[in-house]
Structure 1
């Protein structure tokens, strides 16, 4: 399976790191809270994982989620102990835990994810001399639409990263919901640390926050403490596009 805007083979990356960690499919499944057969299917590109599965695998393998987005070549395997998704809780044998904005939860109740995608500082930007030499530096702060890193999830949702580099403090994504797509494939709400903001660009989005359901049309937005259980649903036959921002605690 490959992402748009890059040649990332998610399955090959997972298989490479798992092999280098010396983990069998069954061992990794126990650590990540999903089945060995599901991991095998993801590695072979036969299925798209949910956000919860992605978070669980990144946490179990001790790698940053950015690696799965395609930061760095496949030969550049992150070493254990680096910036990564940490502290996430996943139910053994379930379909995964919780994601950040637009993420998919696992089976059974509310999942908590205290980690986040993109933890760790990205490459710095240095000022160059005046004139044409500034052009390369500009590209280090601009994310071109055609070069976005994306991850397609199993629940009819696609994450498109809007930053050219990883950001430890903010997750900045455009989230695309296919017709009847939803943020949690298990229909269980999720919660995580930070403050979450959503802006609907097109379509109609149902947002379940706590015990309330809000119907958001294009131009509507919301802001709330992401510790509240939440999930998003596209209940229409039209695609929904949302700008999603999660600001993490310092």
Structure 2
């Protein structure tokens, strides 16, 4: 019996030359990279990359693959072949969960792990006396990250860069998420909050 050799997905002939300019520009802006920086990362001249972004030229698949690598993506991600459409729904039962329930902290990631996504929405529940910042929590965020948190119920205290900020239900706080920080619930009631972390919004 002949052995089948796996092959890479084949693109339609009309996609040998492709239009990716607006997506490349958007991804580059989200990463906070200059045109020259991306050109150096992917080994494509800044002039060519600029023409691609403005739609003045369509790259071959080979050049597109190099641009994708410079943006830390696979070619299929740059071309959106890995995505099922423009709308992605995360059902309640499909949320990624973590935290340390024994210590009174639980969190859920409400957003999907899409390629190139630069923000994430999480929901945290804190029992009285509990705090975020346990071993299973998401890691400290990348330089330039910003976090927005909305207290849904209860009362929490944000400790950011050594300063405490008391927050009641309905209060919303914005802070630099690359600084040391955690939330705690001084009690006596349970508390919950929604948090959005966006990467690269602030100069490092």
**As a proportion of its length, which structure holds more strand?**
2
Per the normalisation by structure 1, the TM-score is: 0.41
Per the normalisation by structure 2, the TM-score is: 0.49
